[in-house]
């Protein structure tokens, strides 16, 4: 029993790492952070909070399904629908932000608009997108953990969540540090538009894979 549970935890860690490598788990934070000149602590905080929403929503759905005796396959269908909605929102958000960025670029060297409110809206939008974007592998793992009781379910959910959060924050910081090396007037002027465009392309990539 102990060996099989250890194998499940190792699988959970491995799947969590592979899952979090997807560009939608870190690239939006890198691009928006670069465009809005976030500090690294702010970038880490936003990625962490969005990650909590991302993982927490799937944990909640999985726990409700287990309590209600709903089959895993039905919850996977719900997760798939949530995933489609999340991708559409990611694409829509990217396009809208890119258009706003193009408009903002015209004022780059003249009257700069106040971005403080825009930053708040962007953070909440990212959070909403990640709450709706499911952790597809998590619910099947939670159902496998039912053989070990609620303690096993909680352990699997906690391990998967911790791995995902560490990966999201870590990759966001690494990507952000790399983009900080880019110092060019064109990149600065069109940073918001490029951020939106990159996010929209990330959503399209996820849609077609």
- The 10s digit of each residue's pLDDT in 76-126 is 677 677 777 778 888 888 888 888 888 877 765 544 455 555 566 677 888
109-118, 122-131, 184-193: range with highest mean pLDDT: 122-131
Residue 16 has pLDDT above 90, yes or no: yes
- The structural domain count of the chain equals 1
Answer whether residue 15 is part of any domain. Answer: no
Answer whether residue 151 is part of any domain. Answer: yes
Answer whether residue 150 is part of any domain. Answer: yes
Q: CB–CB of 48/165 below 8 Å?
A: yes
Parent domain of 155: 46-208
Q: How far apart are CA 185 and CA 43, in angstroms?
A: 23
Q: CB–CB of 171/18 below 8 Å?
A: no
Answer whether residue 10 is part of any domain. Answer: no
Reported pTM: 0.79
| Residues 9-17: contacts with CB under 8 Å, at least 24 apart | 9/155, 9/156, 9/159, 11/141, 12/141, 12/156, 12/159, 12/160, 12/163, 13/159, 13/160, 13/163, 15/137, 15/141, 15/160, 16/137, 16/159, 16/160, 16/163, 16/164, 16/167, 17/163, 17/167
- The 10s digit of each residue's pLDDT in 29-78 is 998 888 888 899 999 999 999 999 999 988 998 888 888 876 566 666 77
Q: What is the pLDDT of residue 96?
A: 87
Answer whether residue 38 is part of any domain. Answer: no
Answer whether residue 74 is part of any domain. Answer: yes
Higher local confidence (pLDDT), 77 or 158: 158
Answer whether residue 140 is part of any domain. Answer: yes
Answer whether residue 121 is part of any domain. Answer: yes
Q: What is the pLDDT of residue 83?
A: 72
76-80, 143-147, 205-209: range with highest mean pLDDT: 143-147
């Amino acid at each position: 029993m102990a060996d099989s549970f250890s194998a499940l935890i190792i699988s959970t860690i491995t799947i969590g790492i592979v899952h979090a490598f997807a560009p939608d788990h870190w690239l939006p934070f890198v691009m928006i952070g670069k465009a809005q000149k976030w500090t690294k602590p702010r970038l880490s905080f936003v990625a962490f909070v969005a990650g909590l929403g991302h993982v927490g929503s799937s944990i909640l759905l999985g726990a409700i399904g287990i309590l209600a005796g709903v089959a895993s396959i039905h919850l996977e269908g719900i997760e798939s629908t949530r995933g489609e909605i999340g991708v559409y929102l990611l694409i829509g958000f990217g396009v809208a932000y890119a258009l706003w960025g193009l408009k903002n670029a015209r004022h780059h060297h003249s009257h700069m608009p106040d971005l403080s409110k825009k930053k708040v809206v962007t953070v909440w939008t990212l959070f909403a997108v990640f709450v709706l974007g499911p952790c597809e592998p998590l619910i099947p793992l939670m159902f496998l953990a039912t053989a070990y009781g609620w303690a096993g379910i909680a352990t699997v959910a906690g391990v998967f969540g911790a791995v995902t959060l560490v990966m999201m924050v870590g990759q966001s910081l690494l990507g952000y540090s790399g983009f900080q090396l880019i110092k060019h007037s064109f990149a600065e002027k069109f940073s918001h538009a490029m951020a939106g465009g990159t996010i929209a392309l990330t959503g399209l990539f996820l849609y077609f894979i």
